[in-house]
Amino acid sequence: MKKNVSLVEKINKSKINSVDEVGQRAKRGISAFIKSMLADGKSQEAIISSIADGTAARGIGHIGLSVYNPSGTACKTGCAFCCILSGEDGGTITEVEAKQVFSALHKFQNEPDGRDWNPKACAALDPSTLTCRSYETRPMICRSYISTDASACEKVAQGESGSGMGTLEPYHTYLASLEVSRSSLKGVKRVSTYSLAKLAANAVGGVSLDEALKRSRHNSVELNKEIKRSNKDISRVS
């Protein structure tokens, strides 16, 4: 118990670059996650593993999304411009999300995928229907992105400017939770992020899970870059 309390203290004292309000929300979320696992009798090792693989961050994000019911969105089945992953990070996801996406997609190896529709599209897409083959296990970045203007999404996908689209607040808390997790577990356990684009492509490419994770794992600075992008997004709507 004493060691777990120490972990909570590390979380509360961790230094992060996320916007303060979002970072504090992430710290409270992870602390609550730890206390919940302790109440369920989970070991320190299990708790640390669930923080390191992104289970905690994903859960915090999902809880945040559960209270949202945005209106006026243009999002609908078959509109897949948001699935064109043109950013340098390729879509930031956690280890637990990467494993779920791989599990959903590896059976489609050597079949046509989203890249047959657009070279930069996510390989999880079915190119004939433009629907996601990993929809039930889609990561936070996919769950939290919405738009009020599909034509603007198309413009952005083509490299032009557009407005009316973006990520809901829980995505920023999810990212901050990953930053808190990495900071508090430094020297204890690695907290990695992965490229959704590369993970999906490798899943349908026929490689093993371990190899797909290896090929799609971000370098250590990519999460920092995504946090900076997150902060800019928050400042634009503040």
Distance, CA of 87 to CA of 163 (rounded, Å): 17
| Contact present, 188 and 48 (Cβ < 8 Å) | yes
Residue 34's CB is within 10 A of a number of other CB atoms, namely 22
pLDDT value of position 3: 54
- pTM tops 0.85: yes
- Among all chains, which residue has been given the structure tokens 């198309």? 154
Backbone phi and psi for residue 146, each to the nearest 5 degrees, phi listed first:
-135, 165
Average pLDDT over residues 181-208: 96
In sequence order, which ranges of 66-193 are alpha helices (DSSP H)? 95-105, 140-143, 150-157, 169-184
Q: Confidence class of residue 1 from pLDDT cuts 50, 70 and 90?
A: very low
User: pLDDT tens across 24-77, in order?
Assistant: 999 999 999 999 999 999 999 999 999 999 999 999 999 999 998 877 788 888
| Contact present, 11 and 184 (Cβ < 8 Å) | yes
Domain parsing of the chain, residue ranges: 2-237
